Amino acid sequence: MNTSFSHTISAVITDLDGTLTDKRRRISTVAVECIRTLTDSGIPVILASGNTLCSMTILAKMIGTDGTVICENGGTYRIGFDGDECIIGDITACRNAFSVLQGYFKERGEVLQLYSPEYRFADVAFARTVDPDIVREVLSGTPVRVLDTGFAIHLQTEGITKGTAFLQICDAIGRKPDEFLAVGDSHNDIEMIQAAGYGAVVQNCSDDICQAADYVSGKKYGEGFVDAVQNVFPSLF
Ligand SMILES: O=C(O)COP(=O)(O)O
Ligand SMILES: [Mg+2]
């Protein structure tokens, strides 16, 4: 674990569920206050989630960021509230893979529950009522990656991650990934954490991302996020 950072960090990118929220998805009010302190100090905060573009837009508005969001695990993103919606995932491949899964589990008497399919443009998300490892096994050989976020199972086009969307946003806004503190909690945050100048995780993180982080907070959920931010921007607090 690298507990120091040599370059100047001047921006933040953060996961939502499990990082700004608790396991019941209740948003942390201290994390919201912290993001407002950052944005009011001129430090942009990008919200990066597996959630849909419409839900992330409302969240960004209500928290008070500039509206730059990564959604559907990198399958969609938008710069600012008025930017174009960029869709970079192949929803057809994900839906086809989901049909294969539905068939497999139906034969075993299990019905998969989709999450907000009408608002998804790039990935497919469904309830964690089945074993993600079995899902991976059934879909091996397809062009689709299986992500278990701890909140849902997602099917995503191979090669698309929060990290790839993050790099595209950096290119578009003229910032280097090195300038960012990235904070996350789960498997779907690994590439983003690795691409950023300094990658931090909250204490409730999954084992795989813990290994990839520069900093592991001793605090959970929103308090862990605040701790990671205070570690990098001590003069703001
Ligand atoms: O959509 C999910 O499954 C989890 O969302 P997250 O990326 O904000 O943790
Ligand atoms: Mg998360």
pLDDT digits (tens, 9 = 90+) for 90-111: 999 999 999 999 999 999 999 9
User: What are the residue ranges spanned by the domains of the chain?
Assistant: 11-87+161-236, 91-157
Q: What is the pLDDT of residue 72?
A: 98
Q: What is the pLDDT of residue 82?
A: 98
Q: Who surrounds ion ligand 2 at CB < 5 A?
A: 15, 17-18, 185-186
Q: What is the pLDDT of residue 94?
A: 97
3-state secondary structure of 54: helix
* Contact status, residue 57 vs residue 67, Cβ threshold 8 Å: yes
Is 17 assigned to a binding site?
yes
The fold adopted by the segment(s) 91-157 is Hypothetical Protein Ta0175; Chain: A, domain 2 (3.90.1070)
Q: What is the pLDDT of residue 4?
A: 62
Residue nearest to atom 4 of ligand 1 (CA): 50
Residues noted as catalytic: 15
Atom of ligand 1 nearest to the CA of 154: 3
Q: What is the pLDDT of residue 90?
A: 93
Q: What is the pLDDT of residue 93?
A: 96
**Can you give the pTM of this predicted structure?**
0.96
Which residues of the chain are modeled with pLDDT < 70?
1-7
Cα–Cα distance for residue pair 54/73, rounded to 1 Å: 14
Q: What one-character-per-residue DSSP string does 85-145 give? A: PEE-S-HHHHHHHHHHHHHHHHHTT----BSSGGG-SS-EEE-S-S-HHHHHHHTTTSSEE
Q: 143-169: per-residue pLDDT in tens? A: 999 999 999 999 999 999 999 999 999
Q: Which CATH architecture has domain 11-87+161-236?
A: 3-Layer(aba) Sandwich (3.40)
